[in-house]
Each structure stands twice: as C-alpha cells, then as structure tokens.
Amino acid sequence: MSLIELKDLSKEYTYGESSTYALKNVNLKIYGGDMIAIMGPSGAGKSTLLNILGCLDKHSSGTYILKGKNINDFSKKELSKIRNREIGFIFQNFALIPEYTVGENLELPLLYKNNFSIKKDKLNKEQRMKLIEKALKNVLISNLIDKKPSYLSGGQQQRVAIARALIANPDIILADEPTGALDQKTGQEIMNLLKEINKQGKTIIIVTHDSNIASYCDKTINVIDGIVKN
C-alpha cells in the first residue's frame, strides 16, 4: 500500500470572477522509503504540491490519502497533529529561531508533541535532552547544542534544521530547496546526509530546480503549469 496517494487533486485560487489553477488533476503515489525530487520552473506549482503534502495548505478538490486515511475532512487540530508526528520539514532559509540555542530549537517540536500526548506519553526534560543529543549526534554537530544560529555557518544551520525535522521521528521528510542557500560543497554534504537518512527508512520528498540535487533521488516528478508528470 502506498504511504501517500493523491487522486484527481487540484488547487484553485479565485480572484473576483477569475480563477487559476496552481495544481490540476494530480494523481500520484508515494511509497515508504522513497526519495523523490519534485522539479519544475518557478511558479509551476511544485511548492504548492509540497505544502499540500505537508498539510500546510488544503487542496480545492480531489482526495489526499495519507497512511490509508482520507484527510479531506480532518480538522485543523488533526492536521496539526499530523504535521507534528508524521512529517518533518526542512526549509531553504533554515527557519531557526535566532533567540534560541540549537538545543532549544530542537526542543520546540518535542514540547509541541507533548500537547498531543496523553500524560503517560509526555516527555520530561531528561527524555527530551536525550533525544536532542541523539539527533545532533546523527547530523555530526553535537558540540553546537548551546550555540545560537547566528554563530553557525549555513551548513551547520541546515544540519540543525535536519535534526529538528527528525526529532519527533516522523516517517516523512519534506525539504523545500534544502541546499538553495548553501555553496556547492556544503550542498553536497547535506544531500549525502539526506541520502543516509533515506537509507534508514525515511521517506524524503525534495523540491528543487537543480538537476544535480535531483540526481541524489530515486525518482523525479516534474511539475509544469500545475500538471504533474511522473
């Protein structure tokens, strides 16, 4: 069974009496353990597709099935729970809170996860710290736990962002141009790291305009004018 399935999914924006489609009649299956690149020119609809997959945006019509569940009628709270438990996000601009240390940035998703957990499943401070230390070790930056983002290089910040995406142990990682703000060498290091994470069983979906980045993936999905071509 597929991990994600989209059936005739569309995203339409209406402006007064006119409308335009960002995505139109998308049919797509993604399986557990896939590493997929979503490619297309600017404005093609690839980021819209990623936002819908990540439950950050809702489609206008069609069906989105995640782990066998139709999420069309899920409430905002249910979608928030999915984002926290099932999906990790990696952004081009890292999206770290500058006033917080690396450790504090990683702790936030765990505190948020506690909001959706029954009392016996809530993580205490000691448990959260163990998870943070493990996540930083996995991305080779254990020594940066007390640093703030402004003291880190771009590559280090993206490693923190990857650790944050993994901290709640989601099955799906969504990355929007994860190397776009990095130099070529650092970008290669980040892609090699994502490849290793994929080998551990995580499903990774990457939006990119760079064919070199897409070459790290097992499959490429092209988006042109809102039309998805597998």
Q: Which helix (H) or strand (E) holds 30?
A: strand 18-30
Average pLDDT over residues 97-101: 95
Cα–Cα distance for residue pair 62/164, rounded to 1 Å: 31
| pLDDT for 88 beyond 90 | yes
For 225, other C-beta atoms within 10 Å of its C-beta total 13
Instruction: Say which residues have a Cβ less than 8 Å from residue 47's Cβ, sequence separation at least 6.
Output: 176, 207
pLDDT, position 17: 78
pLDDT, position 204: 97
CB 123 within 8 A of CB 114: yes
What mean pLDDT, rounded, does the chain reach?
A: 92
% of the chain beyond a pLDDT of 70: 99
